[in-house]
Structure 1
Amino acid sequence: MLKRKSIGLLGAFVLLIAIIGGQAKTVPCKLKDVKYGKVCVCTADYCDYLDNPTLSKDDDFAIISSSKQGLRFELNTGSFGSKDTYAIEDYVEPASKFAASNDTILSKLWDQAIDSIFSQSATPASSITRSVTLKLDRSKRFQKIEGFGGSFTGAVSYLLNNFKEQDIQDHLYKSYYAADGLGFNLLRISIGGCDFDLNPWAYNEEPQNEVVLTGMDKLHERDVLRVGQIKRMKEVSGETNLRIKGAAWSPPKWMKTNNEWTGFGQLKREYYQTWANYHLKWLDLMESNGLPIWAISTGNEPLNGIFFMFFVKFMSLGWTPQMQAVWLNDYLGPTIRNSKHKDIIIFGNDDQRFTSPLWFKMMNRTRPNSVDYIDGVALHWYWDEIFGNSFIHKTNKYMENKIQIISESCIGDKPWQKAAPLLGSWERGEKMARSMMSHLQDGFHGWIDWNIILDEEGGPNYVDNFVDAPVIADTITYTEFYKQPMFYVMGHFSKLVPEGSVHIEAVASNINLDCIAFIRPDNKIVAVLFNSGRADLDITIVDTIRGELKVNVPAKSIHTLYYN
């Protein structure tokens, strides 16, 4: 039986010594009860991390678990071949909580050890248990994974700059991008401003009507700060292969037909080449400042400036597919492919999935083979509950063998959702789990979430466009931030699934379990197991090479299984 690990007095002492000596990477979550559930608290001197597990023997496995009840990246280990069922015990509320924030690390670890010892016998037995068999076949392989990531907006940059100590900024960077964090490798940034800035802005607002773009000879003052922060993130996280995707919301107003940041406005025809050059100069600018770019898109949510201007009040540039086909085929495509950045990935659409099938069909009608300049399809998840996976399948007819990623996702954008963080909400974490699972099962190669941190209101930004985020800052003191269930849910997919992993067949015998599996470049297997039901679940895992493993997982929980 696998039980929730008790670090005990000796373990607490060892962990304390390791922290002081700078050796430990695994640090437990400092759990806090909040309005909608539980969060993990990070301060300048304390933040939770989980070192990636090691497998010493061929039949070893490790399983990382999170649950609504309160497990957060709980690590257990065992071996294939046992006839026993390994039970992942759910979190039990301790008799005493972590002490106040001014307590020492030793006192926190001591309290955790005592709570863990005395809570073992208090674990309630589940009254209902369901069962499922999961068959994994590593010989049946599908798409290769590009990676996972988040977005570094102006709002993120502003919040980070307001934290009182560099150490707490570094904890956020490492929590997402370090190996003992979520292991992210993708990052989305705006080319100029976006809806999550404190003001709309673009490069080369001045001088106006100037096609040489002399205003792009150096970093904009806003990007001086942001580029410095991203470089710091790379340094402290150890992510040496950060893959950055850029997307433009709007050019400077003088390039647009309505001379406004938002509303019904398109690119003036005389500036088609200038706008292509703008992208090229931005690539040069980022590279010369130490941030080489992996990919760009043809523009964020192009229909916002055509049909949705009555609802969208933030920066946008309207395109029809016919107009964008001309710009891509005659201007942007040749400009990029004939430059030193010729190998950069170009993503098309960067909008909701319901727009994509007709979008690429009409592009190809306008300029036959214009989509040949496009290497991938970037979609946003915002209306997926209404527009099903059939839109993805229809898109594939026109964009076969292209990279597919989700390039933006957040919760709180719908009229029926609260437009603000629901601090500690497990239900919002489950929504993310279902969507990530569904897209990866449907052949997607990666996932980029929206803001990596927001404030308590879900901002800041210049249009009061408030949403939720995986991490929320305490802006009263700027001395701590809170990791939500969404943060850990994303990590169950990203942490042990590096770039180059391949989706393999994983078939559950019934609907009690949602799952997906991968074979990594080192040939180890990772399976994400999601039990959204209200009952415990007995899972019999059958691997074509390793054999059989039986695991019992608690209700409302998600797990990452890792084995040879």
Structure 2
Amino acid sequence: MEKRMNYGWHLFALNLIACLIAPSDQASAPCALREYKTGLVCVCNATYCDYLDDPTPNEEYLFTVVSSTKSGLRFETTNGLFNLYKKYYILDYDQRLDGTMQASTRSVQIEVDREKRLQNITGFGGSFTGSVSYILDKLPQELQDHLYKSFYSSSGIGFNLMRTPIGGCDFDLEAWAYNELPENDTALSNFTKLDPREEKRIEQIKRLKLVSNVENLRIKAAAWSSPPWMKTNNAWTGLGRLKKEYYRTWADYHLRWLELWEDSGLPIWAISTGNEPLNGVAFMKLVKFMSLGWTPNQQAVWLSENLGPIIRTKYKDMLIFGNDDQRYTYAFWFKQMKASRSDSLDYLGGLAVHWYWDEIFKPKFIEVARKEMPDRILISSESCIGDKPWQKAAPVLGSWERGEKYARAFLQDLQNDFNGWIDWNIVLDEEGGPNYVKNFVDAPVIANMTNGIEVYKQPIFYAMGHFSKFIPEGSVRIAAERTNVNVDTVAFLRPDSSVALVIFNSGYASVDVHITDSYRGSILFLIPPKSIHTVLYK
């Protein structure tokens, strides 16, 4: 399956650097490329992984372009001058080798307007599931640290958000919850300490914080299912809802979990009202993993009378996210909740959306809820590829096409007032698991569990990084109008008053890019086909 690339002397030099320079000696380090039949990955092992220090130029007359391409660039940096009317070429490897440049057949003008300001950014992140914890525990500590830093350090892709399950989820070795026994135990007498699996997860997250120096890590949690005895069908999955006599118990369960995590030294930023509530109501024949069904009316009652008041007794500032399900639910979910319990929405500080059917259901479904609750934080809280019948339900090593899907989705969400994005598992094995119901999918990093000594950063990782690394918490979206629909873009004013502009060329032709900023002037350069770029300037 694997074959080595033949890019000439420059790739040989790059790989030589990868072997000789330890990451502890420098933060910036180039990608160690490897080619598979399906594309290019960056290889990390215990002694080497690629990083990039903040490339934002210090001088006002300079700009920096960070580029990733299908042909092999990964966070390649190029510097240029404002108002110098020549092209600064962003080249792929083949063009570098023969010294030629493919003539552009398209052009785009992008006007950046700093005065028109839109939504604030809460951040970006990934999920730390039981499967992630299991994989990390099998890898050398040095390689674990590389993964932590690759995602959460400033020289990685700068994540600051994290999602984790309350108890078990589908990405685990088995279905599980706290207090499975004794049954009918409303006092939760067997839920007095954390499960060893979660103690391990907490230990790993603390290590992540230590080695990555992540600032303000915000952890969001969600429960997939209660213990079966609380449910109408007494099973992990299928048509099963919470029995009314356990509404209070299920709220107490959440509070107990929050207290135990806080006592362990990892306070939680936010919880949701549950993961994909329609799975246990409308899709019980399709979903094989643990789930808890809710209708919006039932969830409104539970939130209004139980979860909301109980959480607020101790955690007055904790965010509660509503829905945590697909876009199409937004057209009716919150309206029905409000109709059932008018005060239920008052407990919600955020709205969480899963991306799995976004190519079919457009942002207008979100707008319905957004109009009623314009002040809530809106984030995409779960995303991965491989879940559809027409997609390969496994990692595709080096798939640029899957990276492009992420780029399109990030752009669409950010252009429609989303405040952040949390991806699904940060790392999975070669199968796309482990997963106890074989619900395999892709991930931004794939661990080689056969040799146990290396991991592969996918194009998905870099596609996300073009946003998360350069658009930190506290950034504000500003207007960026373009003249070519084949080139997409979004712009942000960052907390340090610098600008980050992401440009995505999904076409098969090079494009002349002309950026104008009323504060700084003009930038001209050419971008290659199938490429993502982040432009940075003061």
In 2, the alpha carbon distance for the partners of 1:509 and 1:11 equals 37
1:360 partner SS: helix
In 1, the alpha carbon distance for the partners of 2:454 and 2:16 equals 25
Match of 2:347 in 1: 373
In 2, the alpha carbon distance for the partners of 1:559 and 1:237 equals 25
Matched, 1:333 2:318: no
In 2, the alpha carbon distance for the partners of 1:154 and 1:343 equals 27
1:215 partner SS: coil
1:102-501 matches, cutoff 5 A: 120=96, 122-163=98-139, 165-339=140-314, 341-501=315-475
Identity of aligned residues (%): 58
2:221 partner SS: strand
Query: Alpha carbons of 1:375 and 1:513: their partners in 2 closer, same or farther (altered >3 Å)?
Result: same
In the superposition, the TM-score normalised over structure 1's length comes to 0.91
Which letter does structure 2 place at the counterpart of 1:388?
Answer: K
The 10-residue stretch of structure 1 (210-219 or 260-269) with the greater mean CA deviation from structure 2: 210-219
Which letter does structure 2 place at the counterpart of 1:322?
Answer: N
Query: Alpha carbons of 1:21 and 1:362: their partners in 2 closer, same or farther (altered >3 Å)?
Result: closer
Matched, 1:508 2:508: no
1:454 partner SS: strand
Which letter does structure 1 place at the counterpart of 2:32?
Answer: K
Query: Alpha carbons of 1:151 and 1:121: their partners in 2 closer, same or farther (altered >3 Å)?
Result: closer
In 1, the alpha carbon distance for the partners of 2:56 and 2:161 equals 24
Q: Deviations over 1:100-127 (max 9, x none)?
A: xxxxxxxxxxxxxxxxxxx845144314
Contact 2:86 2:524 in 1 (8 A): yes
Match of 2:45 in 1: 43
TM-superposed CA distance for 1:22, in Å, is 3.9
1:52 aligned to which of 38, 51, 54? 54
Which letter does structure 2 place at the counterpart of 1:155?
Answer: S
Contact 1:53 1:62 in 2 (8 A): yes
In the superposition, the TM-score normalised over structure 2's length comes to 0.96
1:74 aligned to which of 76, 83, 90? 76
1:223 partner SS: helix
2:346 partner SS: helix
Query: Alpha carbons of 1:12 and 1:443: their partners in 2 closer, same or farther (altered >3 Å)?
Result: same
In 2, the alpha carbon distance for the partners of 1:238 and 1:145 equals 20
1:277 partner SS: helix
In 1, the alpha carbon distance for the partners of 2:237 and 2:125 equals 28
Which letter does structure 1 place at the counterpart of 2:453?
Answer: T
The alignment yields a C-alpha RMSD, in angstroms, of 2.0
Q: Deviations over 1:359-417 (max 9, x none)?
A: 00000000013111101110000011111121011121232221100000000111111
Match of 2:4 in 1: none
In 2, the alpha carbon distance for the partners of 1:555 and 1:34 equals 20
1:271 partner SS: helix
1:526 partner SS: strand
Match of 1:533 in 2: 507
Contact 2:66 2:535 in 1 (8 A): yes
Which letter does structure 1 place at the counterpart of 2:126?
Answer: G
- Aligned positions, number: 531
Matched, 1:87 2:61: no
Query: Alpha carbons of 1:132 and 1:149: their partners in 2 closer, same or farther (altered >3 Å)?
Result: same
Which letter does structure 2 place at the counterpart of 1:365?
Answer: A
1:349 partner SS: strand
2:428 partner SS: coil
Which letter does structure 2 place at the counterpart of 1:374?
Answer: L
Q: Which runs of 5+ in 2 are unaligned?
A: 1-6
Query: Alpha carbons of 1:15 and 1:532: their partners in 2 closer, same or farther (altered >3 Å)?
Result: closer
Q: Deviations over 1:408-460 (max 9, x none)?
A: 00001111111111111000100110001000000000000001011111111
Contact 1:357 1:398 in 2 (8 A): no
TM-superposed CA distance for 1:14, in Å, is 10
Q: Which runs of 5+ in 1 are unaligned?
A: 93-118
